Structure 1
Amino acid sequence: MMNIDRRSFTLGMAALAASSMLPGFASALTLADLKKKGKVTIGMLVDFPPYGILNSSNQPDGYDADVAKLLAKDLGLKADIMAVTGPNRIPYLLTGKVDMLVASLAITPERAKQVLFSKPYSAASIVLYGLTKTNMKTPADLKGLRIGVARASTQDVAVTKIAPEGTQIRRFDDDASAMQALLSGQVDAIGCSVTVAAQIAKRAPAGQFETKFPLLQQNMAVALRPGDEALAKTINEVIAKNIANGELDKLYQKWLGASLPKLD
């Protein structure tokens, strides 16, 4: 038993030593460090429209790209945007391949054990969107109404959780089918993202539909490495400034066709 413990200890210490040699683990990253190299390398998704996409020139674009450029500008740096994926975005950050993430990363307790989150700069909002003429101010008002959702989606779970007995929940294969059901009058409202709601508003007669109430909101934040508290404080100040002056709201309106949600 003693030999096994010593071996485990030795392997653990070797792993720790190896990790400390990786970029980003040696010391905390500061704004002064970034100023020295004149740029900040920011990881973002490019397969999550409209937050992250590739434009016609095959360059990162979307809401997150604009936010990344805005943050870099306010820090007095050039934005060097690197495409990452959902699975590799946190490893890229922790191993120093990127300085920070503006990558549609929702704040969760599990992720907070791995990375240092800034204050939220955005949110993915799920809302109940339906006929303006039909009263739907609270979940209790859904009784007897036809509510559409994409089957097994986040909005399906959210609607099912709050709907009183007597609500007719109609499940469709995807958001596009649920949207068509609302436009054709098969349902009175649907649970959907604000992005889908904006698409419906463009296709329907003005004033026919409206957002009734929020169902769920996942706040997204800039992610930094643990230990980068000083840099995170600066990022928080920049985010607060751009919420107050309306710049983040302008970008949200540009890409998602809705006002920036209230961020806690």
Structure 2
Amino acid sequence: MIKHLQRRAFTGAALASVVALGLAATLSAWAPDASAQTVAELKKKGELTIGMLVDFPPYGTMNSSNQPDGYDADVARLLAKDLGVKVKLVPVTGPNRIPFLLTNKVDLLVASLAVTPERAKQVQFSKPYAAASIVLFGSKKAELKAPADLKGKRVGVARASTQDVALTAVAPEGAEIRRFDDDASAMQALLSGQVDAIGCSTTVAAQVAKRAPANTFENKFLLRQQVMGVAMRPGQAELLKTINDFVTRNTANGELNKLYQKWLETDLPQMQ
């Protein structure tokens, strides 16, 4: 009887082991190529998969051929060229860009991701390769000179973005924050009168100003100055060093400034 029970227990353990091994093999077979961890693995793969926003012009947009373009796209291409590999640009959104990275759907993010202490707990950031100012942008007629003036106002913002964090931190009780999937949706809400103002970068504000009648909107006040870094999964020390070297070298030789001038028509800011 004891031997019979032992045999049954062994058979059950063995079966569980086989199932576990089979599941592991299945998961391994379905794991995306973007899980490469080292520079050598990325070079062996021959392609760098990079997530980027395409709704944040001029940092990220879609060109006339419906392909990702913009400052981030050019930085991604320059990085891939530096590593001697091809690049695959994967459109992401503000809310899903970090999950895309952490679930190995992309190797890196060059996605206008602002460096914040909260995000640094999830991802590893390179030295800044870009900067942007986050402002409250609204009607010229609106008396919005400070956060306290937002009481009773409807303010739009892209969900889970740096501007969302910055706005939420200063919004007074009574302010109605309406969160949208992306900057484009927040822009449209402002243009259609669904909100009184939006929290956005100065580049997004410039896009809104171009689409609206002259002198309709203006920057009301500064919410935050942010710098953006290339993001990778934690624990990739070699890759971090490689990308930091890339940023340092291409800042010093003026290549990043050329790209910044091309897309933002101003010099790359001095960044810490």
Shorter-chain TM-score category? 0.5 to 0.7
Q: Residue 56 of structure 1 aligns with which residue?
A: 64
Distance 1:152 1:105 in 2: 13
Higher CA-based Rg: 2
1:214 matches 2:226: no
User: Match for 2:79: what amino acid?
Assistant: L
Closer, same or farther in 2 for the Cα pair 1:26/1:252, shift >3 Å?
closer
Identity of aligned residues (%): 36
Distance (Å, rounded) in 2 between the aligned partners of 1:194 and 1:119: 22
**Aligned ranges for residues 240-259 of structure 1 at < 5 Å?**
240-243=248-251, 247-248=255-256, 251-252=259-260, 254-255=262-263
Q: CA deviation at 1:69?
A: 1.7
Name 2:187's counterpart in structure 1: 175
Change (3 A) 1:60 1:170: closer
- 1:227-238 equivalences under 5 Å are 228-238=236-246
Q: TM-score under structure 1 normalisation?
A: 0.59
Match for residue 49 of structure 2 among 42, 54, 64 = 42
Q: Give matches, 1:154-193, under 5 Å.
A: 158-159=166-167, 161-164=169-172, 174-179=186-191, 181=193, 190-193=198-201
2:122 to 111, 116, 121: 111
Can you give the 5+ residue segments of structure 1 that lack an aligned partner in the other structure?
Answer: none
SS of the residue corresponding to residue 38 of structure 2 reads: coil
Q: Hey, what's the Cα distance between the residues in 2 that align with 1:147 and 1:63?
A: 33
Aligned AA (1:29): V
Distance 1:229 1:135 in 2: 45
- Aligned partner of 2:101 among 90, 99, 102: 90
- In 2, the alpha carbon distance for the partners of 1:60 and 1:192 equals 21
Q: Decide whether the 8 Å contact of 2:52 with 2:112 is kept in 1.
A: no
The 1:19/1:84 distance shift into structure 2, 3 A limit, reads farther
* Matched residues, number: 244
How big is the shift at 1:66? 0.6
Out of 156, 159, 163, the position equivalent to 1:150 is 156
Paired position in structure 2 for 1:29: 39
Provide the residue aligned with 2:3 in structure 1.
Answer: none
> What stretches of structure 2 of length at least 5 have no aligned partner?
1-8, 180-184
Q: Output one character per residue of 1:164-195: Cα deviation in whole Å (capped at 9) or x when no partner.
A: 46x7658698432324559xxx95x5423434
CA separation of 1:120 and 1:14: change in aligned 2, threshold 3 A: farther
Q: Is the 8 A contact 1:122 1:221 kept in 2?
A: no
Mapped contact 1:120–1:222 kept (Cα < 8 A): no
1:174–1:199 distance in 2 versus 1, CA, 3 Å: same
After superposition, the CA RMSD in angstroms is 5.2
Return the offset for 1:233.
Answer: 0.5
Answer whether contact 1:105 1:223 (CA < 8 A) is retained: no
Alignment match, 2:6: none
* Matched residue SS, 1:111: coil
Change (3 A) 1:227 1:209: closer
Rounded to whole Å, the distance in 1 between the matches of 2:34 and 2:217 is 52
For 1:235 and 1:54, the matched residues in 2 are separated by: 25
Stretch of structure 1 that moved more, 16-25 or 249-258: 16-25
- Give the AA of the match of 1:101: L
